């Protein structure tokens, strides 16, 4: 035995570059390790999903005739880290070389590079854009706007293209995708699976080891292999894609899924291929099953935002998660971990996060993320929360979404302006406000929506930075036209609210 081949928990793809290079004489190394399970307090569902999917993938590799050294978390010989397991297996098998596909986190790349055994790190070819392609696209641009990168990905893949023109003569149909949802809509939700024997064994392990982590372990309904993931894709295409576009930004009380695909768990772990998903959606459009606004919006999330976020993460380098352009330093409120809050929108987003390890993009961006940005919470703490609580969160995709898009902590690399809003946006896109203790229409006083107060407080705190931003000028002009007494009251009430937040009082 001379070579080890590493497969990580988010690399569960037979097309993985390291596996393509592997021979039957190589030893595949897979391990459930404490370091990866606990560097942030991961949601128990995420840990259970990852370990179960890893065990099933290891069995698939063995069935294909490959040698696999798989170490379970409770194995007494478990070294506790990826690098520790590689060194242990290298010693046991007299291995002199390690082959790996590039991890999606800088900390793991650095750990592999520091090993005393020669390591060859291959590109992760499961993505559409290589690092060089993204760097070439970014070079010389004053602004790295996703929309223009997305168009390049459309041209490259041919998805929704009519020769050299976009299908429907428009690149983007987003203006059609902002309808508030009605409670009368029939929303079936994602395909759910009963735990099998392997899954139940992992659930017991996770219950025993991670019982104190935020999040409900059961009911556990995720698919845990590629076949189940493909069934979930087919279920989404058939049942939800036709209405996905219209309501992709909508939010409803006690409706965590609406028409969203809930495929990011499987895609980001490697159980689904991005082009497999996009081709299925494109075919639904060609067959007349789903309208172009739904299909284009869905494909844009995958070959646009997903690829773009990975490009930003690797372009910006290992220090990206420490960026704090707005110098925010407030602690993360306890209600992000399930403590009481009178804000119904926050309560809904956090509750479904606890129950499902999932919230859709508007809940993440315009509810929890919006509040964190308005309140001036430390972006690194916000980043670690998102990384911990969502089953689809891996640093390459989560960090640019949080540090860049949600918290504007990168100073405008991802977004041309902060994604901030008052309570009016939440009221427009949801039914949350009708069941809230606060009034979205009230601008000051004890019953005023906290988003209303903090919105103006944020803008005034950062006026020097944003007043000349062409997309924000109208906001400041509106503020300047307000009665001075009203302005003073709003800022005073915002200060009182933030003082209660700092004191740990219920808001």
Alpha-carbon distances of 62 from 27, 55, 59, 65, 68, rounded to whole Å: 11, 11, 5, 5, 6
3-state secondary structure 82-135: HHHHHHHHHHHHCCCEEEEECCCCHHHHHHHHCCCCCEEEECCCCCCCCHHHHH
pLDDT at 182: 83
pTM: 0.96
CA distance 427 to 206: 38
CB 146 within 8 A of CB 304: yes
CA distance 205 to 299: 37
Alpha-carbon distances of 454 from 261, 361, 389, 464, rounded to whole Å: 33, 21, 25, 17
pLDDT at 181: 85
Could you tell me which of 274, 245, 267 has the C-alpha nearest to residue 156?
274
Indicate the SS3 state at residue 395: helix
pLDDT at 178: 85
pLDDT at 1: 56
**Treating both helix axes as pointing N-terminal to C-terminal, what angle do 197-209 and 44-63 enclose, rounded to 10 degrees?**
140
Vertex 432, ends 428 and 435: CA angle to 5°?
130
* pLDDT (tens place) for every residue of the chain, 507 residues total: 589 999 999 999 999 999 999 999 999 999 999 999 999 999 999 999 999 999 999 999 999 999 999 999 999 999 999 999 999 999 999 999 999 999 999 999 999 999 999 999 999 999 999 999 999 999 999 999 999 999 999 999 999 999 999 999 999 998 888 898 888 888 889 999 999 999 999 999 999 999 999 999 999 999 999 999 999 999 999 999 999 999 999 999 999 999 999 999 999 999 999 999 999 999 999 999 999 999 999 999 999 999 999 999 999 999 999 999 999 999 999 999 999 999 999 999 999 999 999 999 999 999 999 999 999 999 999 999 999 999 999 999 999 999 999 999 999 999 999 999 999 999 999 999 999 999 999 999 999 999 999 999 999 999 999 999 999 999 999 999 999 999 999 999 999 999 999 999 999
């Amino acid at each position: 035995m001379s070579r080890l081949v590493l497969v990580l928990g988010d690399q569960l793809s037979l097309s993985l570059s390291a596996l393509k290079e592997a021979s039957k004489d190589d030893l595949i190394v897979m391990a459930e390790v404490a370091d990866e399970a606990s560097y942030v307090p991961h949601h128990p569902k995420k840990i259970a999903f990852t370990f179960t999917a890893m065990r099933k993938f290891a069995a698939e590799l063995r069935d294909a005739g490959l040698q696999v050294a798989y170490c379970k978390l409770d194995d007494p010989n478990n070294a506790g880290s990826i690098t520790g397991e590689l060194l242990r297996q290298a010693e046991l098998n007299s291995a002199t070389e390690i082959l790996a596909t590039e991890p999606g986190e800088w900390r793991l790349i650095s750990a592999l590079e520091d090993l005393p055994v020669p390591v060859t790190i291959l590109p992760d070819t499961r993505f559409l854009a290589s690092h060089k392609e993204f760097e070439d696209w970014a070079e010389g641009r004053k602004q790295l706007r996703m929309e223009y990168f997305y168009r390049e990905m459309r041209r490259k893949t041919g998805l929704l293209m009519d020769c050299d023109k976009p299908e429907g003569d428009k690149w983007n149909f987003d203006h059609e995708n902002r309808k508030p949802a009605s409670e009368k809509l029939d929303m079936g939700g994602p395909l759910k699976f009963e735990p099998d024997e392997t899954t139940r064994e992992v659930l017991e392990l996770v219950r025993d080891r991670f019982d104190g982590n935020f999040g409900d372990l059961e009911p556990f309904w995720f698919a845990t292999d590629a076949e189940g993931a493909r069934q979930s894709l087919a279920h989404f295409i058939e049942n939800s894609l036709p209405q996905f576009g219209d309501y992709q930004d909508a939010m409803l009380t006690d409706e965590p899924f609406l028409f969203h695909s809930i495929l990011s768990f499987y895609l980001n772990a490697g159980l689904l291929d991005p082009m497999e998903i996009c081709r299925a959606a494109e075919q639904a459009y060609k067959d007349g099953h789903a309208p172009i606004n739904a299909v284009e919006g869905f494909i844009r999330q995958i070959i646009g935002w997903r690829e773009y976020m990975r490009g930003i993460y690797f372009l910006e380098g290992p220090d990206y998660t420490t960026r704090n352009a707005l110098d925010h330093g407030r602690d993360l409120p306890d209600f992000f971990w399930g403590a009481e809050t009178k804000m119904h929108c926050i309560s809904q987003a956090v509750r479904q996060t606890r129950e499902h390890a999932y919230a859709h993009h508007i809940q993440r961006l315009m509810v929890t993320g919006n509040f964190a940005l308005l309140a001036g919470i430390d972006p690194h703490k916000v980043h670690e929360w998102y990384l911990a609580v969502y089953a689809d969160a891996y640093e390459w995709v989560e960090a640019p979404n949080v540090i860049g898009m949600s918290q504007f902590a990168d100073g405008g690399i991802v977004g041309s302006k902060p994604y901030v809003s008052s309570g009016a946006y939440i009221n427009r896109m949801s039914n949350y406000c009708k069941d809230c203790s606060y009034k979205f229409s009230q601008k000051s006083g004890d019953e005023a929506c906290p988003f209303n107060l903090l919105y103006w407080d944020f803008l005034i705190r950062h006026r020097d930075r944003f007043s000349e931003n062409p997309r924000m000028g109208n906001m400041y002009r509106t503020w300047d036209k307000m009665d001075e007494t009203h302005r003073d009251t709003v800022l005073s009430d915002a200060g009182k609210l933030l003082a209660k937040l700092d004191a740990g009082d219920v808001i």
